[in-house]
Chains A and B, each alone.
Chain A
Amino acid sequence: MTRRRIIFGIALAALLQTGLLTQMVVGQVRLLNSPIEAVLKTRPVDPRDIFRGDYVILNYEIENLRSDHVSIEKGLKPGEEVYLTLNLTTPYATPVALSATAPKSLANDQAVIRAKLNWTDNGEQPVTDTDCITCANAFLELPVDSYFVPEGTGTEIEEYRDERALGVIVALNENGDAAIKGLMMDGEKIYETPLF
């Protein structure tokens, strides 16, 4: 291999990798700068990612939907991306409609979040152990499912799990992309993700 190939080859590979990393950072910073914010109500558990330190797994109440409260589009397929329209109410955002495509227009106090549909019965195999056996059910996975905290503080956050007092501030853009901006407990902001 020539001297030129070695220098330019490795430099090019390093530049490409730097570009990919920069794209990750810029994408998140841009999203965090979005003016659209929603606070989502959670139920966290506290595992430990051996590669990435302490983090809290976040489960949201709006991940389990039922058609008597939320409009669920028929024919949705598990594993596919779906769009959940939210009313930006306080203290927590409330779900309005679940659809396969992003809504064409939104009211001023509405936002949309993109999620993965884990399972739905489309109203054909209703869950029988609830008070509405004719309702369609849908179970989602939101893309903001983990929050990394300073080592050892995960259990402190976990204590709020049973009280359901933990809220996650999520920044959203018009495409439904989401990024965690911070955490709220009892209506007070306790963590905020700095841009840099």
Chain B
Amino acid sequence: MLANLYAKRVSRDLDQWVAKGWVTSDNAAAIRRNLDGDETASRLPTIISILGGVLIAFAAMAFVAANWQDMSKGLRLGLLFAAMWATYGIAIWTHLKKWTGFGETALFIGTGLFGANIMLIGQMYHLPSDFSAGMLAWGFGALATAWAVNSRAALIASQLIFLSWFFNDVFAETLQLTYLLPWLATSALAFRLNWAPAKHMTMLGLLAWLLGNVPVLTDMFALGPWEALTAVTFLLTLAWIAAIWGEASGFPFARTAQAYLSFSVVVVLWFTQVADELVASHATLTALTLTIPLTLAAAAFALRSIPHLKLLDKLALAALPALPLLAGFTMSEESGPVLWIIAPLILGLSIWLVALASRQLNRFLVNLGFAVFAAEALFLYFETFGTLLDTAAFFLVGGVLLIAGALILQRMRRRTLPPSQSATGEVAP
């Protein structure tokens, strides 16, 4: 029904667009033919059959579960293997029939059954409750399916399984490097298939790995909390520089990678001013000041041939690791990081983000810059006016400041982005 409403709406609009000369008659006819096609209509039976399949699977599971204790191990194993093979048989059949949606669903279920079989065999033979090897085997099985037939469903499943496996092992006391191998294998396929959800999972997996290893790295190099924050900011900034270079060099997904990395940097830097109780120790390793010239060198080298970036951008990138280090060196045990030093730097960061975004025509960075500015302004307001919380003045001043801030932000945003972008939200490539 929704599809019909949408088709009617577009058809009505098309008449106007043709009359205004925005769309040619031929193109309008092609769009109408597409809307009249049965692609959207054919989704309904697919969805209903998937639901039917799920119900049958539940029925089978309930039957097996009810009789599980009475079955011999051999029969149980036979059932587990048969269910998995039957599902893969259905996947082959549906793919050959060109029912790709059904085929992907079958592969997803097959991958799930493989994992369930690992767990159930683990149960039958009393394998250890911390079953890390089982998760890893599950991930590799899913990955094999994904690579064998370019399956998106199996790929996303394998990414999730490997990430779960990593988090299961992340509390080990050694650096978890093994995760990078399956991460590389899944990432390669994600980019080969050029599928956005899998590429997003690639970025999330990398960030999770980096942040998950921070405690281990901290122990390995005997870093204090501030040194660890500086090291993380340094690594994230280097990756961000690489993403900026990648975008300028035409690498796909580099802009999205920039979004993830810039956001992560901002979160870590934000942490430096609120971590007064959690991170109650001073920075001690002056050697970490080396991260500043190193970042500057990386930025100067990698971004040297990007004409729209300025010297200020390279200096600002180099200053990012300095912020947590500065907070660590100047903080006091009683009141935490010195707000009048850190807050102006965070505000400066937000303004630079907007400036960088305007040079790159990057809508995400614009919004991130404004979000950081607004959040910092709100944070400062609470820090400085918070003692008046019981009075009406607190709310009055807050309300006035927020409305004024919103107006200023809107004006700044309009000036920053070209008219077409601020109107439509589109971003130039």
What residues make up the interface of A, taking CB atoms closer than 8 Å to B?
A: 1, 3, 5-7, 9-14, 16-18, 20-21, 24-25, 28, 32, 49, 51-53, 55, 57, 78-79, 143-148, 150-151, 179-180, 193-196
Contacts and interface: CB of A to CB of B under 8 A. Distances in A.
Given A146-B126, A151-B69, A179-B125, A10 B144 contact: no
Contacts of A179: 125-126
Contacts of B127: 24, 28, 146
Q: Which 4 A-B pairs have the closest CB atoms?
A: A9-B148, A13-B145, A28-B125, A9-B149
A16 B141 contact: yes
A196 B149 contact: no
Which interface class (under 10, 10 to 19, 20 to 34, 35 or more) fits B?
Answer: 35 or more
A18 B73 CA distance: 16
B interface secondary structure, majority:
helix
B91 interface: yes
Contact of A10 (B72, B73, B77, B149): B149
Given A12-B144, A144-B128, A148-B126, A79 B174 contact: yes
Contacts of B122: 24, 52
A78 B173 contact: yes
B137 interface: yes
B66 to A, nearest CB: 11
Contacts of A49: 129
Given A17-B141, A194-B72, A12 B129 contact: no
A196 B92 contact: no
B92 A10 contact: yes
Nearest to B76: A196
A189 B140 CA distance: 39
B172 A13 contact: no
Question: Which of B144, B154, B172 lies at the interface centre, i.e. has the most chain A CB atoms within 10 A of its CB?
Answer: B144
A13 B149 contact: yes
A3 B96 CA distance: 6
B267 to A, nearest CB: 30
Interface string B346-388: 0000000000000000000000000000000000000000000
B30 to A, nearest CB: 28
A196 B88 contact: no
B85 interface: yes
Contacts, number: 111
A13 B119 contact: no
Contact of B69 (A18, A28, A150): A150
Contacts of A20: 118, 137, 140-141
B128 A10 contact: no
Nearest to B140: A20
A106 B69 CA distance: 40
A18 B89 CA distance: 14
14 contacts: A6-B96, A7-B92, A11-B88, A14-B84, A17-B114, A20-B141, A21-B121, A25-B121, A25-B125, A79-B174, A143-B128, A148-B124, A180-B125, A196-B74
A6 B151 CA distance: 10
Interface in B64-107: 69, 72-74, 77, 80-81, 84-85, 88, 91-92, 95-96, 107
Contacts of A5: 149
Contacts of A55: 123, 129
A146 B128 contact: yes
B172 A79 contact: yes
Question: Which of B85, B123, B130, B154 lies at the interface centre, i.e. has the most chain A CB atoms within 10 A of its CB?
Answer: B123
B328 interface: no
Given A14-B84, A17-B84, A79-B173, A1 B125 contact: no
A176 B320 CA distance: 51
A195 to B, nearest CB: 7
A10 B148 contact: yes
A53 B80 CA distance: 17
B414 to A, nearest CB: 48
